[in-house]
Amino acid sequence: MTDVEAVRAAPAVGSRRAWLGLAVLLLPVLLVSMDISVLFLAMPTLTVDLDPSAAQQLWILDIYGFLIAGLLITMGNLGDRIGRRNILLVGATIFGIASVVAAFAPTAEVLIIARALMGVGGATLLPSSLALISSLFPDARERAAAIGVWTAFFAGGSAVGPIIGGLLLHQFWWGSVFLINIPVLLILLALGPFVLPEHRAGVLGPLDLPSVALSIGGILPLVYGIKHIAAEGLDVEAIVISLVGAVILTAFVRRQRHLDEPLLDLRLFSRAGFSVAIGSSLVGMMSLAALSYLTSIYLQSVTGRDPLAAAVLGIPMAVAVFIFSMGGARVGQRFGARNSFAFALAASAVGNLMLLGVGVHGGIWWYLAGSTIAGIGYGIAFTLVSDVAVSSVPAERAGSAVGISETSFELGNALGLALLGSLAALIFRSGGDYAATLGETIQHAGANTALVDSARESFVSGMHIATAVGATLLLTMALIALFASPRRLEPSTANVH
C-alpha cells in the first residue's frame, strides 16, 4: 500500500471510527507501560514460589525493558515496511502468548524467557501504535490532541501498574498480574483489523540486517552496563560491557551514514524540532527516573512510611502528568513548541529544585508541591516529544522516528538511575561507615539510633545533590530549546513529504 492509499484507508478526520481506533490503540500502550512496574509488588510472592537466584530475580525484572530498548528502532522500521497494523497485531499476539506462559511459569528460567518474549512484543506495540495515529488523524490539531491522550495513558500506565498489581495480589496469586493482559489483548485483536488503517511505506526497501544486528548488539550491552552501575556501582564488568556496547553503536552509526535507506536516519537529527525533542526526552527521563527512585526510598526508609502510604503521596504527581499530557498539545499550539519545550523543562527543573526543602524530620509539603510542579512540566514535555517525533518527519518514516524517540525515553530512564542514582549513592556512602544502601544500613544498625539518624541525613544530602544536578540538566536543555533552535519550531504543523 502506498502512502496515498494508506491515507485513503484511514477513517475520516474526527469520525467516531477514528476515535474508536485511538481507544483501541490505547490498550497496548497501557499494557506495555503497566508491565514495566506491575511486577515490583509481585516479586516477594513470586520469589517464594519459584525460588529464583539473585541474578535470576534481576533478569526477571530487567529482561523486559532490555529487549524493548534494544528493539524499538528495529520494530519501528519494520512497521514502516510491512505495515504498522500488521506488526501491531503480531506484537499483540506475541505479548499475549508470552503473558500466559509467564502467568503459569513453573520455573524462574521459563519466566525469564516469557518476559523476554513480552519485551519483543512490547517493542512492536509502542512505535506502531503511535505512528498509526498519523494515519487515523491527518488533521494536525486532532493528531496533536490524540497524541496527548496517547502520552497521558502511557504515563498513567506506569503510575497505576503498582496499584493494579496490589489489588490483584490481594485476591489472587502472582500470575494474575500477567493474565490481566489477555482480555485487553483479545479486544485489540478483535477490533484492530476493523477500526485501524493499514499503513506501509511503498518506497522503502528491505531492512538492512547487519544494521539490525549492530543496533541490538550495541543498545543491549550499553543499557545492561548502565543498569549494572546503578545496582552494583562502577566496576570492571560494567566498564567493559558498556565499552563493548559503545563500540558496536559507533560501528552502527558509521554504517548508517553510507546506506541509502538506513535503519537510523541520521538526517532526522538535522531537523531542529526532532533534535530538541530527542534531547528533551533523554534529559527529562533522566531527571524523572532519579526523582521517582530517590523519593520512593526517602518516603519509606527516611520518613518510615509503608509502600501504600508512599504510593498515595505520589498520586498528585501522577495526576499532574496525566492531565498536562492531555493538554500539552494545546500548549504547544498556543505558544509554539520552542517556547513550550523551554517552559516545560524549566517547570520540571523548578519542581526538582523544590526537593531541596525536604529534610529528615519534615518538608513533606515541599515534596508534594515540587513533584506536582515537576509533573506539570514532564506531562507537557513528553507530549511535545511524541508530537514532534511524528509530525516533523516524512510520513513513511514515522515508525522509525517514533522508535528513536521511545528508545531515548528508555535510555534516559536507565541513565537517570545509573548516573544520578549512583551520584546520590556516592554522596550517601561518603557520609559515614554505612552499608551499600540506606535500607541495609537501617536493618544492620539495630538499636544504634545515632547511626540511623546520620545515615538518613546522608541519604537526604545525596538526594538533594542528585536532584539538583537533574534540575541543572533540565535548565540547560530548556536554554538549548529556547536559543539554539529556529524561531519556528512548531508541533503538528504538517508532515514533510
Q: CA 123 from chain center: how many Å?
A: 12
Q: Mention every residue, 6+ apart, whose C-beta is less than 8 A from residue 31.
A: 95, 122, 125, 157, 181, 184, 185
Sign of CA dihedral 147, 151, 152, 154: positive
Domain's final residue, options 187, 205, 223: 205
- Predicted structure pTM score: 0.75
The answer on 108 and 172 residing in a single domain is: yes
Q: Is 205 exposed, middle or buried (0-12, 13-18, 19+ CB in 10 A)?
A: exposed
Q: Which helix (H) or strand (E) holds 182?
A: helix 181-195
The answer on 430 and 321 residing in a single domain is: yes
The answer on 43 and 83 residing in a single domain is: yes
The answer on 143 and 35 residing in a single domain is: yes
CATH number at residue 397: 1.20.1250.20
Which segments of 298-397 does DSSP mark as H helices, in order?
A: 307-313, 315-335, 337-353, 364-391
DSSP conformation class of 430 = T
What's the pLDDT at 173?
78
What b-and-e string marks burial along 321-360, b requiring 16 or more CB atoms within 10 Å of the CB? bbebbbbbbbbbbeebbbbbbbbbbbbbbbbbbbbbebeb
What the block records as the C-alpha cell of 472 is 541543572
The answer on 191 and 72 residing in a single domain is: yes
Domain that holds residue 24: 1-205
The answer on 218 and 142 residing in a single domain is: no
CA distance 323 to 135: 25
The answer on 288 and 222 residing in a single domain is: no
Structural contact between residues 71 and 91, judged by C-beta atoms closer than 8 angstroms: no
CA distance 435 to 442: 9
CA distance 200 to 375: 36
What the block records as the C-alpha cell of 217 is 548488539
Long-range contacts of 113-119 (CB under 8 A, 24+ apart): 114/178, 115/59, 115/60, 115/63, 115/64, 116/63, 116/64, 116/67, 118/35, 118/64, 118/94, 119/63, 119/64, 119/65, 119/66, 119/67, 119/68, 119/71
What the block records as the C-alpha cell of 80 is 514502516
User: What pLDDT tens digit does each residue of the chain (497 aa) get?
Assistant: 444 344 434 444 447 777 788 888 888 777 777 766 666 666 667 777 787 776 677 677 777 877 877 777 788 777 777 777 888 888 889 988 998 998 888 888 898 899 889 888 888 887 777 778 877 777 767 777 787 788 777 776 766 666 676 677 667 777 887 888 888 888 888 887 877 777 666 555 566 778 878 888 887 788 777 777 766 667 788 888 889 988 998 888 888 787 777 777 777 777 777 788 888 888 988 898 888 878 878 887 888 877 667 777 888 888 888 888 877 777 777 777 778 888 999 999 999 999 999 988 888 999 999 999 998 999 888 888 877 766 666 655 656 666 677 777 777 777 777 778 778 888 888 877 777 677 778 777 777 788 888 888 888 999 999 999 999 999 999 998 888 655 555 454 444 33
The answer on 421 and 349 residing in a single domain is: yes
What's the pLDDT at 101?
92
Residue entry with cell 560494567: 238
Domain's final residue, options 195, 229, 262: 262
CA distance 81 to 87: 10
* Helical pair 209-232 and 236-256, crossing angle rounded to 10 deg: 150
Domain's final residue, options 262, 277, 305: 262
The answer on 295 and 212 residing in a single domain is: no
What the block records as the C-alpha cell of 347 is 517547570
What's the pLDDT at 144?
74
What's the pLDDT at 495?
43
Instruction: Report the C-alpha dihedral over residues 161, 163, 167, 173, rounded to 10 degrees.
Output: 40
Helix-then-strand count for the chain, H and E: 20, 0
The answer on 293 and 350 residing in a single domain is: yes
The answer on 253 and 109 residing in a single domain is: no
- Return the CA Rg of the chain: 22
CA distance 161 to 20: 24
Q: By three-state DSSP, how is residue 38 classified?
A: coil
The answer on 246 and 286 residing in a single domain is: no
CA distance 359 to 460: 7
Work out how many domains the chain is built from and give that number. Answer: 3
CA distance 173 to 429: 38
